[in-house]
Amino acid sequence: MNNETSRHEGGSLLIIGAGPGGYQAAAYAAKNGLTVTIIEEEHAGGTCLNCGCIPTKALCHDAENPTDFSAAMARKDAIVSQLRSGVEQLMQMPGIRFVRGHGSLQADGSVKVQTSDDEEIIKADNIILATGSRAKLPPIPGIDLPGVVTSTELLTIDHVPARLCIVGAGVIGLELAGVFAAYGSEVTVIEFMKECLPQMDSDIAKRLRKQLEKRGITFYIGAGVKVIRNVENKEIRNEEISNSLNFTFSHSLSVSFEQKGKELSVEADVVLIATGRKPNTEGLNLEAAGIATDSRGFIPVDENFETKIIRDGENPHLYAIGDVNGRQMLAHAAEAQAHRVVNHILERKDGLRLDIMPAAVFTTPEVACVGPTEEQLKAENRDFIVHKATFRANGRALCIGETEGLVKLITDPDDRLLAAHIMGPHAADLVQEVTAYITLGATLKQLRETVHIHPTLSEVLIEVN
C-alpha cells in the first residue's frame, strides 16, 4: 500500500487496545465511514475503567462518608461492570468488529491476532496502537514479597489493612491513601521527591499534604526506599479461587528507607507501590514493524500521533495514542488523541488544543490544574502574574462546610489566562471552566465579566486578586 494514498473515507482501521483511546477511536471512525476492527485481549474499557480511574473514583466518593467497606467495594464493582457492558455494546455498532485476542505487528504491515482458539492475519490501511500502560515497579529488594501490591491488586482487596504503606505520592498514591485512611487504615506515604504531586504546583501540593496529614496520614518526603523485608510470613490465600477478591494478607512487612541521611523504617500489613507506570509494548512485535521506542520504552509520535517507521517498504499508517506514547498519561488525553488521529486519517483539520490538558486528583480536598506551573514559567523565563483567592469567604463553600482551599490563576502581562491551579471542593469542575477560557484565548477580565450564579463555588474564580 502506498502511504500517500491510503487516507480516505471508507478505508479500513485496525486498533489494538479497547481502552478510552481505542474505543473512542473505533466509534468515531465508524461514524465517519471507516471500517473498523478493534482487538482487546482483556476487558473492554482498559485500565481506566477496570482498574484505574473509575474504581478509584467510586471508592473516593464513598470514602467521603465511609460506612461499610464491603458495600463500597461491591458498588465499585457494579459501576465497573455497568460501564464495561456499555463499552462492549458500543463496540457492536455498525462498522465495528470487536475481536477478543492478542494483536501483534508483522513485518509485512499486517497484524496477527491470536484468539483463544484461532489465529488470524488482518490487514488495514491504518493501525492505531492503544495498548495503555501498567504499574512500574522500581528495583527495590523485596518488592516481590507477598503483601507488596500495585493499585490493581489493592483495588480488589477484600478487607481494610490495619497498616498500609504507600511508596509514591503521585495521583494514585494520594487518592488511595485518602480512601484507606478514611476506612481506618494507618497510612504512611513515602515519596522520593521533595514534595508530593511533583508535577503540580508546589504551593498547592504542599497545602494538600498538610490537609491529608490532618486526616491522619503520615508523610516521609524526600525519602528513598532501600528494601522491603518480611517480618512475619503468614500469608493466607485460597489458591482454588481465581477471583482476586478472595485473598487476605496476615503478615507484617518492614519498609526501610533513607531520609536526610537517616535510616528509618515502618511496618505495614500491605505495601502499595505507586511509583508510576510503563507502556504496554511487550508482545506488540514493534521491531518487526520497524518501530523503535525511546529510552523510557514509549513509542515516539509526531503531532498527529503517527509513528516513525524505520524501515523501507510499503506500510500502513501506524499511530500510537494514550499512555503507550507517554505524552499525557490521562484517559481524556487518549480520547482527544483518538479524535485527532481519525481526523488525520480522514484528512480533516480540527481545533483540538492538545497542549491545554486539564488534570485532577480526587483526594479530599480535590486538586486540579491546567496550564504551566509557576516553576515551569520561571524556568522558561516567561513573565507572568499570579492571582489568588481562598474559599473561606465563598458562600457555597461555607454552606457545605468545605472552606479549606486555594485558587491560583496565572495570566501573562496582557491579562491573558495561562493556567489555573486549585485545591478545594470541586476543584476539577472549577478548572474545567478555566480550561475553556484558556482554550479560547480569553483574559481574566473576560472571566470576571462573565456572570456567575450565586451561591456557587465558581464565584471564587472571579474573586481572585
* Kind and range of the H or E run holding 295: none
Distance CA 457, CA 419 (A): 18
> Is residue 241 very low, low, confident or very high in pLDDT (cuts 50, 70, 90)?
very low
Q: Extract the C-alpha cell encoding 465.
A: 486578586
> Is residue 240 very low, low, confident or very high in pLDDT (cuts 50, 70, 90)?
very low
Percent of residues, the chain, with pLDDT higher than 90 = 90
Domains of the chain: 12-135+277-345 (3.50.50.60), 148-273 (3.50.50.60), 365-463 (3.30.390.30)
pLDDT at residue 343 greater than cutoff 80: yes
| 405, HSE (Cβ side, Cα atoms, 13 Å) | 30
pLDDT at residue 460 greater than cutoff 50: yes
> Could you read off the pLDDT of 396-452 as tens digits, one per residue?
999 999 999 999 999 999 999 999 999 999 999 999 999 999 999 999 999 999 999
Q: Are strands 163-167 and 270-273 parallel, antiparallel or unpaired?
A: parallel
Crossing angle of helices 53-63 and 171-182, rounded to 10°: 40
pLDDT at 311: 60
Write down the residue that cell numbers 489493592 correspond to: 154
> Is residue 3 very low, low, confident or very high in pLDDT (cuts 50, 70, 90)?
very low
Buried b (16+ CB within 10 A) or exposed e, 322-348: bbbbbbbbbbbbbbbbbbbbbbbbbee
> Is residue 309 very low, low, confident or very high in pLDDT (cuts 50, 70, 90)?
confident
pLDDT at residue 88 greater than cutoff 80: yes
116 in Cβ contact with 3 (< 8 Å) = no
Residues in contact with 307: Cβ distance below 8 Å, sequence separation at least 6, in sequence order: 129, 291, 299, 300, 301, 318, 319, 320
pLDDT at 319: 97
> Could you read off the pLDDT of 219-230 as tens digits, one per residue?
999 999 999 999
Residue 136's SS3 state is coil
Q: Is 426 among the residues known to form the active site?
A: no
pLDDT at 308: 83
Which spans in 317-407 are helix H? 331-345, 374-379, 395-400
pLDDT at 237: 39
pLDDT at residue 292 greater than cutoff 80: yes
Q: Are strands 12-16 and 126-129 parallel, antiparallel or unpaired?
A: parallel
Residue 215's SS3 state is coil
Residue 301's SS3 state is strand
pLDDT at residue 250 greater than cutoff 70: no
Dihedral sign for Cα 322, 335, 176, 252, please: negative
39 in Cβ contact with 16 (< 8 Å) = yes
151 in Cβ contact with 172 (< 8 Å) = yes
Crossing angle of helices 202-214 and 171-182, rounded to 10°: 20
* Kind and range of the H or E run holding 408: strand 406-411
pLDDT at 246: 41
Q: Which of 155, 13, 20, 156 is nearest to 87 (CA)?
A: 20
pLDDT at residue 330 greater than cutoff 50: yes
Q: Which of 102, 387, 421, 454 is catalytic?
A: 454
Burial class (CB in 10 A: 0-12, 13-18, 19+), 226: middle
DSSP of 431-454: HHHHHHHHHTT-BHHHHHTS---S
Burial class (CB in 10 A: 0-12, 13-18, 19+), 170: buried
266 in Cβ contact with 254 (< 8 Å) = yes
Please, which residues bridge with residue 411 across strands? 385, 417
Q: Which of 299, 284, 26, 59 is nearest to 156 (CA)?
A: 59
